[in-house]
Structure 1
């Protein structure tokens, strides 16, 4: 009986040791992609040409991230500013010096369930990974 228990515990530990780094790698890559996309959208949106991050830019972003395996409908985008103005309206670009804030979130999708094998409680089903940033608008009206 002892040997059976040792075998079961050893097998569970081996599974976790073999597969956990793979899932952690996927988690790190997804987090990096979200942050890279947030940085890119802020760089484009806060440039002197735009001064906003509108729905078309967000739709393009969803498409780019879906090419890496993200589900478009699960991506959430929040655009806000350091002023009372909306940062997502192309008709009213933010003037130079106004901060544009962007937060992109995506659920973990049971990515860390294998950690249960060794007793680590995974994230809740509502938990989301985040890519965020803020950049000052460079838009100047002509």
Structure 2
């Protein structure tokens, strides 16, 4: 009976050791992609040509991230400015020197449930990974 118990515990530990790095790698790649997309949108949106990040840019971003396996409906975009002005209004772009903040969040989607095998609690169901950044607008009317 002890040998069976040791086998079951060893099998669980072996599974965790084999598959946990893969899931953690997926998590790191997802977070990196979110940060890369955030940096890209801020670079484009804060450029001298735009001064905003509008719905069309967000829709294109959702499509790009969807190509990497993200569920586009689960992506959450938050756009703000340092002055409180709308950072997503194409009719009123923010002027030079005003910071545009962007945050893209995405749920963990049970990626770390395998950690339960060794007694580590995974993140809660409403926890999200994110990419965040701020860039000063370069738009001059």
TM-score over 0.5 for the alignment? Answer: yes
Shift of 1:84: 2.2
1:36-47 matches, cutoff 5 A: 36-47=36-47
Structure 2 unaligned segments of length 5 or more: list them. Answer: none
Please list the CA deviations of residues 71-127 of structure 1 after superposition, one character each: whole Å capped at 9, or x if unmatched: 010000000000021000000010000000000000000000000000000000000
Shift of 1:12: 0.2
Please list the CA deviations of residues 1-51 of structure 1 after superposition, one character each: whole Å capped at 9, or x if unmatched: 110110000000000000000000000000000000000000000000000
**SS of residue paired to 1:79:** strand
Distance in structure 2 (CA, Å) of the matches to 1:85 and 1:132:
19
Structure 2 match to 1:98? 98
**Which TM-score applies when normalising by structure 1?**
0.99
Structure 1 unaligned segments of length 5 or more: list them. Answer: none
Q: How many residues align?
A: 141
Structure 2 match to 1:81? 81
Structure 1 match to 2:55? 55
Shift of 1:56: 0.2
Please list the CA deviations of residues 43-73 of structure 1 after superposition, one character each: whole Å capped at 9, or x if unmatched: 0000000000000000000000000000010
> Pairwise CA RMSD of aligned residues?
0.4
Please state if 1:114 is matched with 2:114.
Answer: yes
Please state if 1:138 is matched with 2:103.
Answer: no
Q: Which runs of 4+ in 1 moved over 2 A?
A: none
